[in-house]
Structure 1
Amino acid sequence: MFSNKNDITASAFPLPNDTIVSSKICDSGVKQYSGYLNITPDANMFFWFFESRKDPKNSPLTIWLSGGPGISSMAPLFEQIGPCTVDNTNKSILSENSWNNVSNLLFIDQPIGVGFSYGTHMVNTSEQAAADIYNFLQRFFTVFPQYASLDLHLFSESYGGHYVPVIAKLIIQNNNLINNCKIDLIPINLKSCGIAGAWVDPAIQIDSYINFAENNTYKPLLDPPSIKKMSDAWTICKHNIDECYKTNSKQDCSIANITCKGDYFGIFVKNSGVGVYDIRTKNGLPDSIYRNYLEKSVILNSIGVNTEATKFIEVDNKVYSRFADSGDIIHSMKSQVEFLLDNNIPMMFYTGDADFICNWMGGNEMAESLKWKRHQNFKNATFQEWTVDGVKVGEIRKVEGLCNGHLHFESKQDAENFYITAKGQTFLIEDENVGIIEVYFKPPTHYTRNNNSNRYDNGEGTSSSTTMSNEVYFKPPTHYKNNSNRYDNGEGTSCSTTMSNFDKVKSNFATVKTNFLSVKRNDTKAKSNQESYESISSASNVAELRRCNTENLIEFLLNDEEFAKMNIGENFLSKLHEEDITVNSFIRLRKADLKECGLKICPSLEVEEYISSLGWYTYDI
């Protein structure tokens, strides 16, 4: 349903904070959507989507997530790969070399608190952030089903070395469950992942700092006494990282982050006199011009920003602090990358040779250390010249499924000109050996573009006044997989069964559910019980199983003393039954929609936590 000609408010379940607008900002020549998807009752995630300039129905979908943790994805939109840039006069300029020349583009501000995203739902681990992104994608493809079947390429930078592997693994795991009819969600057609300056394995990458300080492409960055201090500090830093890897405890990993950042990394910062993101500079990154552009009320209104609830936060230090305090920054994501490679998801890592924090030496060692089915092939592969249009831009090493490269430019202007003048078709190409989208650039996050020769966007400050086409429609996320492995229009189901399976579920449910009382979600016994339940239910008709699950959940909760103490009341259970809500999705109901039931707490908080502890809500997305 539409609240007005430009706003979309729709969902599988009513979520009134969803507000999406269609504007002509930045690139007036393509269809675009921006605004908020409400991923939980207290989390409003901002996005900006641009259709491809060439055949959007058959172009892939590329998602970009900034790193940090805590950096807005508006930076790459305006400074790297997006359809427009901003000049010194605070005007947008169409970028002729945007990735949307060949791909649909989706930029997401995440986690909550970053950019324009707002709410009280705060996360502090990569796993929690991945769950939010997965939930966002489920909602995005529900609102825009015409994009759900497109090939998807997931790109990020820096802390994306944590985000992307976890998100991609969750996608693969849930796709398997969807294909086996064990969960009722939209399959995501993930094809590849690419990460610039990836922060994947701190033990390996932090260890590279001394070597890089002495032997980088440009010049030695520290004198011998400073190198000695770093070497001494590394002993303590490494010990603490090893403890973090061993225990995986919040305390040990947080201590490792503090000692490595303060004592070890701090020596380099104090004594090198160079920028840690670009060792050719002394002052680090320049200010972003686009921030002033995003302070203009006409722009904010046109792209659907809730100016009463939030203001733009390019770098959210609070988000960084939460991830640091949880120890997530020191966690290794190598196993997740290896999982993706072994599940035939191509990966590309690329790094600029002037980046210190996520330097190319550590990135190369990380890629070489990955244990996967073509591990030895990759180790045996040699670096080759990386060229674009006959010009060498760096070196790259690749085998089928994995490539790792670093890029070198003689000057800031070379990098800038290379990035903005490259042919559109060279930005995203299918490499026949790697089978991955290759990206020919290293971070112009360090640079601002020149402001001549590009035409201005004639859609400045305007919004579309036309009604949305019929292709935007909304369905609950059910029955999305059919025999052709394409998006199903929801008219039929991909699973069928007889009532005998349904009866088996009910007859066996009493035994299974009683075990949930004494075990927690991650226990082996809980997993065994869940697998037992899944083995019974996997062949069941989706609609019948939904009703069965709901009935058994209600029966269980009515007889559960702990739940009774929470004073939820039977009205809530009746609401579940009336709406035919699945066990896996009932907490998505908004508190506002349940006021008639007289609830005293929000189902997405205490209730979700309690039912999760019993093992019911296993697929927590």
Structure 2
Amino acid sequence: MTRALLLLPLLSVGIHAVPTVPGEVQTVLSDLAAYSNLAASVFGSVADGIEHLVHDALDGAKDFLGKEKVGIYEWAYGAGGQFVHQDGMTYELVAHPAFAEHSLRFTEPDICDSTVKQYSGYLDITDGKHLFFWFFEARNNPGEGPLILWLNGGPGCSSSTGLLFELGPCNIADEGKNTTYNEFGWNTHANIIFLDQPINVGYSYSDDGSTVNTSPVAGKDVYAFLELFLARFPKYASLPFHIAAESYGGTYAPNIASVIHQANKALATMGTRSPVPGDIRINLASVILANGLTNPLIQMASVPDYACEGPFAIFEPDGPQCQSLRSKVPTCERLIQSCYDYNSRFTCVPAALYCWSQLFGPLQQTGLNLYDVRKKCDKSKDGDLCYKEMTWIDTWMNTDANKRALGVNPDLKFQSCNMEVNQAFMFQGDGMHNSADLLPELVNDGIRLLVYAGNADAMCNFMGNERWVSQLDTEFHEEFLGAQSLPWVTEKSGQLAGAVRSAGGKGYTAGNVTFLNVYDAGHMVPYDQSEAALDMITRWLKDVPLSL
């Protein structure tokens, strides 16, 4: 990791003559801006004369650089003048007193959707871990819209899947040569961050062999990223913050939300006695789980029910395949319960190996796309994940020009999904833990929960998701059990898009605990039902009912 640039001793920063090399100009601007800020904080009003000299020098540099370099000038002075030059690129650098081993470096791209403000770059952790992010402002009223963190799952899959294939401002097109404008992008009314985590996923990387293989550790890294991001961009810090995560994100997101919530509670007890100045309370408003894996004990047991009795049944209900699947459930449940009871990789890994192989193996042999069982999967044409667009994403993200625009080393090879990361999590048994156990405290403290699932997804089916939500031990438990499923009709087109159950809010809000069954959609709901997905997220963020 390249450390934050140190402020030079007071007398060593002079008012330099403007150099003749633009790269040197940037360094001098950095020193001048840092010196001006330091002088103001240390000497107060005595620094006024020094500050005028600094302004004069900066104005001279601005004239020298020309109008095309005005952005560099403003950046250097306004942001405190901390820069890092790496891989032939220049980033702004952000540090935070609470995170001595973390820093944020970023640039401002102009691709995908040039109509909105963007930032992209890295959270650098210690000397080896680097998490990539890409931020887009809302198309409408960004200063008032909420802030969303979007995560894809895997584990090991890049959030570029959500960005370029599902809900981002642009869609991958032309076999990865171009992107097209997505009119149903979730940044229509929300500011949104796409984060590649943990390390070695997507554009994120490790340069010292560091790895992350559990969701609790990954959650702490994400929290550090959010603190640095909001410290640099405080105008987003007061906005309602929502974590939205898909697939294995159903495991990630409760862990991240729990870390944020515990940190917020600690800050509340410290008050003005906080030992670390600048700690930011993240305004966590809701957790959104999209076709997630959250409570495997309940969800794994639902696999035969979905495969044999679901809306797109794979096997005959009374056939031998269904009988065989159902016979595997008791052993799977016993192994997962041992994982829950002992919380050890020695109990959790056997549960993962048995349940995935014995319950999903027969489904995979059908040749169906388990992310959307309405479709066949030809991996020779559609790729390992059964969507040819996923291979297009790899092409686009591996284009040198796009990498440089995003502040990514062109030598870094992008993969949509890293199977080494996937296996590392698997052999820790991470995915067999009950992440749902982390949610009741959040819900009871006012953080809302939305769980949605496409009804054509066999990987994290809607039946299992609705069941674990029904068993969630919150103050809304009894109300949710008694709640009926109501029609969800989109506001713009009047489409019957699904069915919603909700508790809390007395029918005047979107609810405190809400489950949404999305019709005619697979694992990636925003891909299959773009307009409906935007309707869903818009109403949820505004906290208005999704039902009629």
- Letter of the 2:399 partner, please give it: K
Partner residue, 2:319: 224
SS at match of 2:421: helix
Q: Residues of 2 paired with 1:286 and 1:366: CA distance?
A: 29
* Overall identity of the aligned pairs, in %: 32
Match of 1:285 among 386, 389, 392: 386
CA contact (8 A) 1:409 1:415 kept: no
Partner residue, 2:83: 2
Partner residue, 1:486: none
Query: Superposed, which structure 2 residues align to 1:385-396 within 5 Å?
Result: 385-389=487-491, 390-396=494-500
**Uncovered stretches (5+) of structure 2, i.e. residues with no partner:** 1-81, 378-384, 505-511
CA contact (8 A) 1:431 1:437 kept: no
Q: Residues of 2 paired with 1:417 and 1:81: CA distance?
A: 11
Match of 2:331 among 216, 236, 246: 236
CA contact (8 A) 1:27 1:83 kept: yes
Q: Residues of 1 paired with 2:244 and 2:111: CA distance?
A: 23
Q: Deviations over 1:248-292 (max 9, x none)?
A: 11111001111112233323333x442221111221621222221
The structure-2 alpha-carbon separation of the partners of 1:211 and 1:430, relative to structure 1 and needing over 3 Å to count, comes to closer
Deviation at 1:437, TM superposition (A): 9.6
Partner residue, 1:305: 408
The structure-2 alpha-carbon separation of the partners of 1:353 and 1:286, relative to structure 1 and needing over 3 Å to count, comes to same
CA contact (8 A) 1:85 1:290 kept: no
Q: Residues of 2 paired with 1:339 and 1:16: CA distance?
A: 29
Q: Residues of 2 paired with 1:39 and 1:93: CA distance?
A: 34
- Letter of the 2:294 partner, please give it: V
CA contact (8 A) 2:102 2:224 kept: no
Partner residue, 1:496: none
Q: Deviations over 1:563-590 (max 9, x none)?
A: xxxxxxxxxxxxxxxxxxxxxxxxxxxx
Deviation at 1:417, TM superposition (A): 7.5
- Letter of the 1:329 partner, please give it: G
Deviation at 1:217, TM superposition (A): 0.6
May I ask how many residue pairs the two structures share in their alignment? 433
Deviation at 1:416, TM superposition (A): 5.8
Partner residue, 1:75: 161
The structure-2 alpha-carbon separation of the partners of 1:303 and 1:436, relative to structure 1 and needing over 3 Å to count, comes to farther
Partner residue, 1:428: 538
Match of 1:188 among 282, 294, 300: 282
Q: Deviations over 1:330-384 (max 9, x none)?
A: 1111211112111111000000111112101111111101111010000000101
Partner residue, 1:550: none
Partner residue, 2:172: 86
Instruction: Name the stretch that deviates more: 323-332 or 53-62.
Output: 53-62
Q: Residues of 2 paired with 1:317 and 1:23: CA distance?
A: 29
CA contact (8 A) 2:457 2:522 kept: no
CA contact (8 A) 2:489 2:498 kept: yes
Q: Residues of 2 paired with 1:21 and 1:192: CA distance?
A: 29
CA contact (8 A) 1:165 1:340 kept: no
Q: Residues of 1 paired with 2:132 and 2:250: CA distance?
A: 22
- Letter of the 2:189 partner, please give it: V
Q: Deviations over 1:451-495 (max 9, x none)?
A: xxxxxxxxxxxxxxxxxxxxxxxxxxxxxxxxxxxxxxxxxxxxx
Deviation at 1:145, TM superposition (A): 2.6
Q: Residues of 2 paired with 1:151 and 1:416: CA distance?
A: 25
**Uncovered stretches (5+) of structure 1, i.e. residues with no partner:** 440-621
Q: Residues of 1 paired with 2:153 and 2:529: CA distance?
A: 23
Partner residue, 1:323: 425
* 2:265 is equivalent to residue 176 of structure 1: yes
Partner residue, 1:353: 455
The structure-2 alpha-carbon separation of the partners of 1:206 and 1:92, relative to structure 1 and needing over 3 Å to count, comes to same
Q: Residues of 1 paired with 2:229 and 2:495: CA distance?
A: 40
Partner residue, 2:232: 143
Q: Residues of 2 paired with 1:423 and 1:235: CA distance?
A: 36
CA contact (8 A) 1:84 1:98 kept: yes
- Letter of the 1:138 partner, please give it: E
* 2:203 is equivalent to residue 116 of structure 1: yes
SS at match of 2:164: helix
* 2:303 is equivalent to residue 199 of structure 1: no
Normalising to structure 1: TM-score of the pair? 0.66
Q: Residues of 1 paired with 2:322 and 2:102: CA distance?
A: 57
Deviation at 1:297, TM superposition (A): 0.8
Q: Residues of 2 paired with 1:380 and 1:127: CA distance?
A: 33
Q: Deviations over 1:81-109 (max 9, x none)?
A: 11111211611212222111111111000
Q: Residues of 2 paired with 1:333 and 1:33: CA distance?
A: 31
- Letter of the 2:187 partner, please give it: N
Partner residue, 2:438: 336
Deviation at 1:322, TM superposition (A): 1.2
Q: Residues of 1 paired with 2:146 and 2:220: CA distance?
A: 23
CA contact (8 A) 1:70 1:320 kept: yes
The structure showing larger relative contact order (alpha-carbon pairs under 8 Å, at least 6 residues apart) is: 1
Partner residue, 2:464: 362
Q: Residues of 1 paired with 2:138 and 2:483: CA distance?
A: 35
SS at match of 2:427: helix
* 2:360 is equivalent to residue 265 of structure 1: yes
The structure-2 alpha-carbon separation of the partners of 1:329 and 1:377, relative to structure 1 and needing over 3 Å to count, comes to same
- Letter of the 2:538 partner, please give it: L
Q: Residues of 2 paired with 1:57 and 1:358: CA distance?
A: 35
The structure-2 alpha-carbon separation of the partners of 1:194 and 1:29, relative to structure 1 and needing over 3 Å to count, comes to same
Instruction: Name the stretch that deviates more: 79-88 or 273-282.
Output: 273-282
Deviation at 1:438, TM superposition (A): 6.9
Partner residue, 2:343: 248
Match of 2:187 among 83, 86, 100: 100
Normalising to structure 2: TM-score of the pair? 0.74
Q: Residues of 2 paired with 1:437 and 1:253: CA distance?
A: 39
* 2:490 is equivalent to residue 409 of structure 1: no
Deviation at 1:427, TM superposition (A): 4.1
Q: Residues of 2 paired with 1:371 and 1:426: CA distance?
A: 25
CA contact (8 A) 2:455 2:461 kept: yes
Q: Deviations over 1:411-450 (max 9, x none)?
A: 99x986841x569666412578xx47979xxxxxxxxxxx
- Letter of the 1:300 partner, please give it: K
Q: Residues of 1 paired with 2:172 and 2:314: CA distance?
A: 36
CA contact (8 A) 2:336 2:348 kept: yes
Query: Superposed, which structure 2 residues align to 1:389-538 within 5 Å?
Result: 389=491, 390-400=494-504, 401-409=512-520, 418-419=529-530, 421=531, 427-430=537-540, 435=543
Q: Residues of 2 paired with 1:79 and 1:141: CA distance?
A: 27
The structure-2 alpha-carbon separation of the partners of 1:415 and 1:82, relative to structure 1 and needing over 3 Å to count, comes to closer
Q: Residues of 1 paired with 2:188 and 2:109: CA distance?
A: 19
Deviation at 1:144, TM superposition (A): 2.3
SS at match of 1:180: helix
Deviation at 1:221, TM superposition (A): 2.2
The structure-2 alpha-carbon separation of the partners of 1:74 and 1:215, relative to structure 1 and needing over 3 Å to count, comes to same
CA contact (8 A) 1:201 1:334 kept: yes
- Letter of the 1:101 partner, please give it: T
- Letter of the 1:176 partner, please give it: K
Q: Residues of 1 paired with 2:521 and 2:289: CA distance?
A: 23
Partner residue, 1:33: 119
